[in-house]
Amino acid sequence: MSFPDVAYIGSLNSEHYELSMLFLQHGKHVLCEKPFCLNAKQTRSVINFARKNNLFVMEAVWTRFSPAYADLEKDIQNGKLGDVLFIEADFGIVSPNDRSTHIKEFGGGAMLDVGVYVLQLPQFVWKEEPKKVTTVGSLYDSGVDLTETIILEYEGGRRAVLNIHTQLEMWNKATIYGTKGHVTLEQPFHFPHKVIDKDGKIKNYELHSSNLPYNFTNSPGLVYQALEVARCIKAGLIESPRMTHQESINLAVLEDTVRKQLGVHFEADDKEYP
């Protein structure tokens, strides 16, 4: 059995919109790296076109397909943690000077580089949008964000505190606190192979092995995302229930809000998209 062609887009952030539209316009399904696009306007445009043409499109937030996250979701849904009231997550790396993170024209900045991962976590846990967003941080000379701390506030006193940095190696862990205990996603929290459960037990998640070297920690986990794309297309779906179109739009709106609060502005923010 053969499947329709799927284009995987892993280019510079500034090219995600144009390349996604190019492949969709030629009838190809699309899996586009995070951030989906530079802003919410571009993200809505891509999704609307895919929907109108019955094509699959998904933002490649590979975290959502991690076995550890699947278990976490079950624990939350069955009440194992009680009411989740607080989330903390850190993601800090030392970004080399020649990396696109520093370059505004490439859609750089901490938010669109590593910040997507911390923002998606409370979205994944609470499955709703915050009522208030507060951001403090600093910028590179190029005008994109170097670091930020984001506080997301939700109904019922729930809160997430998220730290992002591109010039400092951080814990890169995340902890979800409930009224019955907490769970820690060990480094790298965005695709962990080790989780400390509420009773202190360590859960280990074996990933695929390879004789070839990987560029990033736990890169074998990308296979789960690829399998989900194949599953959805085979089932005739145009979006994944684990990373829906609406979630990508909501994530893009949050990214826009954070950038605006820090004063990070792209030329794409001034344009309109069909």
Nearest to 255 by CA among 107, 46, 48, 89: 107
Which residues are CB-neighbours of 240 under 8 A, at least 6 positions away? 58, 64, 228, 229, 232
Give me the pLDDT at residue 2, please: 55
- Angle at CA of residue 113, ends 220 and 96, nearest 5°: 90
Cβ(55)–Cβ(238) below 8 Å: yes
Cβ(59)–Cβ(120) below 8 Å: no
Residue type for 50, please? Answer: A
What does the block give as tokens for 170?
Answer: 């951080």
The radius of gyration of the chain's CA atoms, rounded to the nearest angstrom, is: 18
Give me the pLDDT at residue 188, please: 97
Residue type for 173, please? Answer: K
Give the whole-angstrom CA distance, residue 257 versus residue 271.
17
Domain boundaries, given as residue ranges, for the chain: 6-62+222-270, 63-216
Give me the pLDDT at residue 208, please: 81
Give the whole-angstrom CA distance, residue 15 versus residue 26.
17
- Blockwise average pLDDT, block size 10, the chain, 274 residues: 78 98 97 98 98 98 97 97 98 87 95 97 97 98 97 98 97 98 98 96 90 85 95 97 98 98 98 96
CATH topology for 6-62+222-270 is Rossmann fold (3.40.50)
Give me the pLDDT at residue 214, please: 84
Report whether the peptide linkage leading into residue 35 is cis, meaning its omega lies within 30 degrees of zero.
yes
Assigned CATH class of 63-216: alpha beta
Question: How many whole angstroms from its chain centre is CA 9?
Answer: 15
Give me the pLDDT at residue 1, please: 45
